[in-house]
A and B are shown apart, each in its own frame.
Chain A
Amino acid sequence: MSHDIAVEARDARKVYGQGIGAVTALGGVSLQIRKGEFFTLLGPSGCGKTTLLKLIAGFESPTTGHILLDGSDITFDPPNERPVNTVFQSYALFPHLSVADNIGFGLKMQGRPKAEVAATVTRMLALVRLDKMADRKPGQLSGGQQQRVALARALAPSPKVLLLDEPLSALDLQLRKEMQIELKRLQVETGITFIFVTHDQEEALTMSDRIGVMQSGHLLQVGDPRTIYTRPANRFVASFIGESNFLTGTLDGTALTLDAGPRMSVEAGQGAPTQGRVTAAIRPEQIRITSATLGDGIPAKVTQTVYFGTDTHCRVVLKDGTEITVRLQSPASGDVGLHPGSEVTLKFEPGALIVLPEAA
Chain B
Amino acid sequence: MVDRTFAIARLPGFATIAVTVFVLLYLPIAMLVVFSFNAGDSVAIWEGFSFRWYPEAWSNEAVKAATWRSLQIATAASIIATTVATMAALGTTRRRQTKGQSFVYLMINQPLMVPEIVTAVALLIFFSTIKVATGYQGLGYLIIAHAAFCTPFAYLPIRARLESMDLSLETASADLYASRWQTFRYITLPLVMPGAIAGLMLAFVTSLDDVVITLFVKSAGQDTLPTYMLAQIRRSVSAEVNAISTLLLLLTVVLLTAFFLLTRKRT
Instruction: Identify the A interface with B (CB < 8 A).
Output: 57, 59, 78-81, 84-86, 88, 90, 92, 94-96, 105-106, 109-110, 137, 139, 153-154, 157
Contact = CB atoms under 8 A, between A and B. Distances in A.
B177 A80 contact: yes
B190 interface: yes
Given A96-B190, A96-B191, A96-B267, A86 B166 contact: no
A109 B191 contact: no
A96 B186 CA distance: 10
Contact of A92 (B169, B182, B191, B267): B169
A228 to B, nearest CB: 29
Given A59-B175, A90-B168, A109-B173, 20 more contacts: A78-B174, A79-B171, A79-B174, A80-B175, A80-B177, A80-B179, A84-B175, A85-B175, A85-B176, A86-B172, A92-B169, A95-B169, A96-B190, A96-B267, A105-B173, A105-B176, A109-B177, A109-B178, A137-B267, A153-B176
B59 to A, nearest CB: 47
Interface residues of B, number: 18
A96 B182 CA distance: 15
A109 B179 CA distance: 8
Given A92-B168, A139-B267, A79 B175 contact: yes
B184 to A, nearest CB: 13
Contacts of A139: 267
Which are the 7 A-B pairs with shortest beta-carbon distances?
Answer: A106-B176, A92-B172, A92-B168, A109-B177, A109-B178, A79-B174, A95-B267
B175 A94 contact: no
Interface of B: 166, 168-169, 171-179, 182, 186-187, 190-191, 267
A86 B169 CA distance: 12
Contacts, number: 61
A135 to B, nearest CB: 15
Chain B interface main SS type: helix
A64 B180 CA distance: 26
Contacts of B182: 109
Contact of A110 (B174, B177, B267): B177
Nearest to B177: A109
A86 B171 CA distance: 10
A86 B173 CA distance: 10
A137 B182 CA distance: 21
Contacts of B172: 86, 88, 92, 94
B96 to A, nearest CB: 11
Contacts of B168: 88, 90, 92
Contacts of B179: 80, 109
Most buried by A among B168, B176, B187, B191: B176
B166 A80 contact: no
A158 to B, nearest CB: 12
A308 to B, nearest CB: 39
9 contacts: A80-B175, A84-B175, A85-B175, A92-B168, A95-B191, A105-B173, A106-B176, A109-B186, A157-B177
